Amino acid sequence: MASKAAIEKGDQSQVPGALSNVSEGAKGLWGNFTTFLSDVRAEMRKVVTPTRKEVQATTTVVIVTVFVFGAFFFVVDLIFNKALQEILTRLGGTQ
């Protein structure tokens, strides 16, 4: 309907451009897709698998860090618990 109205008005810019915009859009999408795939392939060539020694070292660091933070938060929790119990006892909340 819009193209018929454009023809009647004499506006030829909308009629042929509609079909060419669709084909250019499809070409643009395909070009973007192929560019994306070539970029992915280039990045995947840069990926290096770590050695067994590197994996063991980083795993050890993670495990030690987890235990250190666990101990830290355990101590902080004990301190806050003791402080809260003391405050509640002085206010007469717990006996």
The reported pLDDT for the residue numbered 5 is 56
Q: Is-contact 6 15, C-beta < 8 A?
A: yes
Listing DSSP states for 10-54 in one string gives T--SSHHHHHHHHHHHHHHHHHHHHHHHHHHHHHHHH--PPPHHH
pLDDT along the chain (95 residues), means of 10: 55 54 72 94 95 98 98 98 92 73
The reported pLDDT for the residue numbered 93 is 72
Q: Is-contact 95 85, C-beta < 8 A?
A: no
User: In angstroms, rounded to a whole number, what is the distance separating the alpha carbons of residues 65 and 77?
Assistant: 18
Q: How is residue 93 annotated by DSSP?
A: S
Q: How is residue 1 annotated by DSSP?
A: -
The reported pLDDT for the residue numbered 92 is 85
The reported pLDDT for the residue numbered 30 is 87
The reported pLDDT for the residue numbered 49 is 94
